[in-house]
Amino acid sequence: SPRIWLGAGYFSLGVAVLAKGPVSLVLVGLILIIFFTLRPETYSWRKLWLIPGGFLSLAVALPWYVLCFQANGWNFIREFFFQHNLARFATDRFQHSQPIWFFLFVIIIGFFPWTLQFGAAFLQDLKRLRRSEKRACNSDTLFFWLWVIVPLIFFSLSRSKLPGYILPIFPAIALLTAAYWED
C-alpha cells in the first residue's frame, strides 16, 4: 500500500534527522521541490501526506533533540546546529578540505566494480534526454538522477568533505545502473 511506503519514508526521514541532523531535511526538500517543479503532473502534494508524515518524522527525531536541549541548554543548539552543521558546511574548521571534484572519486572508488556500468548509464540517459526519449524523461529516472545529483552538488559545494557524506546516493546509483542493465 502507498500509505505504508510513505509512512516508512517519513519514519526513515526521522531516523536520517537523528543520524545526520537537519541537512537530511534540506536534501529531501530540495529533491522533492525540484522533482515536482519539473514534473508537476506526477503526484499531488496532498497525496504525500506532508502533515501526518511530518508529525511521524518529528515523533522519531524530536525526543532526542528535546532531551539534548534539556541536558545541555543553548550550548547544544550552538554546538550541534551552528558548529557541527553550518560551520562544517561553510568553513574548513574541522580540516576536511578537499577539491570540488572529490566526491566524483568517492563514487568511482565506492561503486567499484560497477563504476563503468554507471558511467554508461549516465551517458545513455544523457543521450536519451537530448533526443527526448521516453525512458530518459520518465519520472522514476528523473527522481533517481535528482537523488544522485542534488546531494552530490550540495556536498561538493561544502568546504568540509568526508567520503561518508554522499553514501545515501549509492542506492540511487545502483537503481540507475540496474535500469541500464535491464535495457
What pLDDT, on a 0 to 100 scale, did the predictor assign at position 137? 65
Q: 147: burial class by Cβ within 10 Å (0-12, 13-18, 19+)?
A: buried
Amino acid residing at 78: R
Q: What is the DSSP string of 151-180?
A: HHHHHHSSSS--GGGGGGGHHHHHHHHHHH
What pLDDT, on a 0 to 100 scale, did the predictor assign at position 153? 94
**Residue 164 grid coordinates:** 561518508
Residue with cell 536541549: 69
Neighbours of 99 (CB within 10 A): 10
pLDDT band at 16 (very low <50, low <70, confident <90, very high): very high
What pLDDT, on a 0 to 100 scale, did the predictor assign at position 94? 62
* H/E segment holding residue 75: helix 74-76
Which of 112, 1, 14 has its CA nearest to residue 63? Answer: 14
Residue with cell 563504476: 115
Quick one: average pLDDT of 18-38?
90
Give CA–CA dist 87/83, Å, rounded. Answer: 5
Q: What is the pLDDT of residues 57-100, one digit of tens each?
A: 999 999 999 999 999 999 888 888 877 777 667 667 666 677 88
What pLDDT, on a 0 to 100 scale, did the predictor assign at position 163? 84
pLDDT band at 145 (very low <50, low <70, confident <90, very high): very high
Amino acid residing at 148: V
pLDDT band at 125 (very low <50, low <70, confident <90, very high): confident
